[in-house]
Structure 1
Amino acid sequence: LQKLRSGQDFNSSHQYPQLLPRRHCGKGLIDGEKSTPSATLYEFPWIAKLFNRALGYNCLGTLISHRYILTSENCINFYFIPDLIVLGEYDNFREPDCQLEDPTDCAPPLRLYEVEYVVRNHNDYRYRIDLIRTTENVAFEDHIQPVCLPLTSELKHFRPSQYTIAGWNKNSKNTTGIIQKETIYAASSAECQINEEHLPHNVLLYTTSHENVANRTYSGGPVGAAVPSSGRRFEQFALVIGPVERARKSELTLKF
């Protein structure tokens, strides 16, 4: 079975099935009151780890439906093709995962899903994304939920002034295995000291107060914000692809 496949061109005359959840998504435990970098249990239940049995853990992705994980094209190549998706992870060092304030409040175990194949967007450099299809349906649980994507016209044109990124920090100064989160701020090319002529139109520049916050362990992960839609829910507007060369404290993401 070919693990890395090329995607098909969009056909406007074709009736595609609706695979993305519109109402039951983005329902993590949104916690805007805490200023600590450590996420709470159930706060980011859509974050996935891309894992290869021979090479280990490489990048992040986002659960978007029962069968698909969204990630950056930078994360997958002929040398690294994931064969397992890890879902429901919160603390790398503990099993089961429990709330920091209440060790009796614990999540179910993490889940492993086999990869059937990866679909690559083959002919549009503006959207350097991959879709990972699992061999079986992902069961949604308290600690495993799909993220929301901006499917409506209103959300597609919504531009928050700040976003949240999250993932596992492998910085040597970091001793916790818990998901770390960071608030980032939309920035202009002038602020980042780069020439925007060399950037695709759908690249989102942002700044952060921390050095290299979007390092390799954040690549492929979600860039989003809590939006007031059927309550508050997390909407993914972009994904992390990496730092900007020659820029100061700025990072590149792909927005949808």
Structure 2
Amino acid sequence: MKGVIWCAVLFCVVYATSAAPLNLHSDLTDILDILKNLGLIPSNDPASTSSPDNDLGSGYTSDTSQCGRQTATPSLSRIKKIIDGRPAVSHSWPWQVSIYDDDEHHCGGSIIDDTRILTAAHCFENRKQEDFYVVVGMHRISATNDNRIIMNISGIIIHSQYFNGDHDIAIIKLTESLNFSEQIQPICLPVSNQVPNADDSNCVVTGWGETRRNIAEEEPNIVSDVLLQANITILNDSFCNKYYENSLQTNSVFCGTARHGDTCQGDSGGPVQCPNADGSWYLAGVTSWGDYCGGEAPGVYTQVEYFLDWIDENI
């Protein structure tokens, strides 16, 4: 009530002392700003209402109050697949990055702290480190006026046991620390034994990968300009392995399907993000490989929880 009374008083003062015609919208805005600065009415600015415990700091943390959260609310309606999928809400997955090779989008990745990106090892096969850089804060590849930041790479750590799709995980080390913002935030790593359950359909994959895969190569493959997302359903190991003739090391990977679709080339290294009970998101998987984009065989994802010790050793 006190704020309302002060607002009325200030409005009368502004109106009485103004030499120019009253601009109702701008004057009320000025009055509200004054009242907020005086502490007479609450501010809607997240920065002014956040407590120190909820501030986004630098460095890796497993505390879900400081990771895996978005300012932009993602759309979580069920989407068939990234191939022909739905664009994500701009910056609703602020840990998603693009890894560029020779100035073109090549793979995805996830921010896990202020200097490290988790991605797939196969993204760097037969390539030179100096050809890569990381783009953070990007939503649309073709945009030139967004808040993207280009980050140089100081090192790429590929798992020593990576071979032919197994142990398909890598860490990129950035030359400089990231400044976290609404567009740039880290995702939580899973805690021990935190893995997605079979039949869970709440996990989401994201990426700028191909939206059409042309087997005959009569036409060029179509890469998405905007970040796309899709819900996937986690499959049990036995169901998944039947597609791949029991060739999977199921303790280090899991499979998912997006109803006749999945991730595709260019989505590799990107996140499989699953919700925590408190509304934050954790990095359950890294997009790895599959038999064919959009075919019947499910997509295969590196299970991040299995590699927690390896990640800790390289943080």
Gap change, CA 1:76 and 1:43, over 3 Å in 2 = same
CA shift, 1:50, in A, is 1.1
CA shift, 1:42, in A, is 2.1
* Structure 2 counterpart of 1:59, one-letter code: C
Gap change, CA 1:90 and 1:221, over 3 Å in 2 = same
CA shift, 1:51, in A, is 1.4
Structure having the higher strand fraction is: 1
Q: 2:74 aligns with which of 16, 25, 31?
A: 31
What is the CA deviation profile of residues 57-86 of structure 1, one whole-angstrom value per residue up to 9, with x for unaligned ones? 211111110110011111112325353110
Question: How many Å separate the matches in 1 of 2:162 and 2:263?
Answer: 24
Gap change, CA 1:115 and 1:175, over 3 Å in 2 = closer
State whether structure 2 residue 248 is matched by structure 1 residue 205.
no
State whether structure 2 residue 222 is matched by structure 1 residue 180.
no
- SS of equivalent to 2:266: helix
Gap change, CA 1:73 and 1:33, over 3 Å in 2 = closer
In the alignment, structure 1 segments of 5+ residues that lack a partner are 1-17, 98-108
Alignment root-mean-square deviation, CA: 2.8
Gap change, CA 1:193 and 1:39, over 3 Å in 2 = same
Task: Answer yes or no: is the 8 Å Cα contact 2:110–2:118 preserved in 1.
Answer: yes
* Structure 2 counterpart of 1:143, one-letter code: Q
Question: How many Å separate the matches in 1 of 2:178 and 2:138?
Answer: 14
Structure ranking higher on relative contact order (CA contacts 8 Å, 6+ apart): 1
Which residue pairs with 1:142 in the alignment? 182
Question: How many Å separate the matches in 1 of 2:94 and 2:229?
Answer: 13
Q: 2:210 aligns with which of 167, 170, 175?
A: 170
TM-score (norm 2): 0.63
State whether structure 2 residue 311 is matched by structure 1 residue 236.
no
Which residue pairs with 1:60 in the alignment? 108
CA shift, 1:25, in A, is 0.9
CA shift, 1:93, in A, is 2.5
- After superposing on structure 2, the runs of 4+ consecutive aligned residues of structure 1 that deviate more than 4 Å are 32-36, 172-176
Structure having the higher helix fraction is: 2
Question: How many Å separate the matches in 2 of 1:175 and 1:83?
Answer: 19
Question: Which residues of 2 match residues 36-47 of structure 1 at below 5 A?
Answer: 37-47=86-96
State whether structure 2 residue 154 is matched by structure 1 residue 116.
yes
Gap change, CA 1:89 and 1:120, over 3 Å in 2 = same
- SS of equivalent to 2:239: helix
In the alignment, structure 2 segments of 5+ residues that lack a partner are 1-57, 80-85, 213-220, 305-315
Gap change, CA 1:44 and 1:64, over 3 Å in 2 = same
CA shift, 1:49, in A, is 1.1
Gap change, CA 1:175 and 1:151, over 3 Å in 2 = closer
Task: Answer yes or no: is the 8 Å Cα contact 2:75–2:88 preserved in 1.
Answer: no
Gap change, CA 1:34 and 1:96, over 3 Å in 2 = farther
What is the CA deviation profile of residues 155-201 of structure 1, one whole-angstrom value per residue up to 9, with x for unaligned ones? x2552612210011433597962211001111244367425631102
Question: How many Å separate the matches in 1 of 2:155 and 2:149?
Answer: 18
State whether structure 2 residue 170 is matched by structure 1 residue 130.
yes
Percent identity between matched residues is: 18
Gap change, CA 1:214 and 1:245, over 3 Å in 2 = closer
